[in-house]
Amino acid sequence: MARMAGTAALAEKLLDVAVVSTTSVAGGDICTTTRLRLTDGRSGVIKTRPQAPAGFFTTEAEGLRRLRAAGGVRVPEVLAANDECIILAWVEPTKPSVDLAESFGRGLAAMHASGIGGFGAEHDGWIGLAPLPNRPSPTWEEFYASRRVMPYVKAAADRGSLSLEQARVIEQVMKRLPSLTPDPEPPSLLHGDLWSGNLVWSTEGVHVVDPAAHGGHRETDLAMLALFGAPHLQRILDAYHEAAPLQDGWLDRVPLHQLHPLLVHAVMFGGAYGARAAAAAQSLLDGAA
């Protein structure tokens, strides 16, 4: 196989192992992903991006290590990371199955139950290339409104992806947030960007990648998983609920937890995402009327 000289040299410098071959990996529009075959018999995957923001890859590595240490879900081993790249152990993909979905749902419940010190994280991060404020807040409602939704309401409005009227609807939901949420729960360790593209189905189990790890509400990960769909989604949700029952009405709150990712997409891609966010907010107001 062809050997991408620059990528191979970067990996060899970090791993202190020679690269036999490199192969491009499809998927993702933020980073270039390349499979590595090493002389010690291992395979890895390296992600690179020219002029990535400072701390972009090391923050990802920290999140992966945190999730891996918590247990519950499978997480690829981080082999190396610096400001230029991150290198992970290769996970051989397989076809999604009901059994793998069930195991993942139970594992996700266990990861959430492992807990974290508070709502937020030690430092800010990214969701895709979008900034992710993480300064801790005493309650989830305050954290979600001030660190997730409202910064992106402003950004989407400034970009022209959200009208003033649509922004006001979302602001109304944030003002009524305490009445829309169930009894308080302790913060859960979240993946933070749990859409189907960040799941790698393998014979060993479902692995998660590309986290935006932080302390938050566990329903957020489930709502994100449902936003764009996932293989055997219902079995994942059922297995989760069997392992760690969710509070009554959690399905009605899915639009609430989807507000942030919809606003992120409105900022990054425009299109109809702003309208979708406003519609989700309106459905919450109508349901509470």
Tell me the DSSP string of 147-158: IIIHHHHHHHHH
What's the half-sphere exposure (Cβ side, CA atoms, 13 Å) at 264? 19
Q: Are the beta carbons of 51 and 10 closer than 8 angstroms?
A: no
Sheet strands (E) in 49-134: 78-81, 85-89, 125-127, 130-132
Tokens of 229: 């769909």
| Sign of torsion over alpha carbons 206, 210, 215, 218 | negative
Q: Are 38 and 55 in contact, with CB atoms under 8 Å apart?
A: no
The answer to whether residues 215 and 189 touch, using CB atoms and an 8 Å cutoff, is yes
H or E segment at 190?
strand 188-190
Tokens for 272? 């109809």
Provide the token pair at 247.
């509070």
Active site residue 16: no
Catalytic annotation, pick one of 83, 99, 193, 286: 193
Which region holds residue 48: left if phi is over 0, alpha if psi is between -120 and 50, else beta?
beta
- Active-site positions? 193
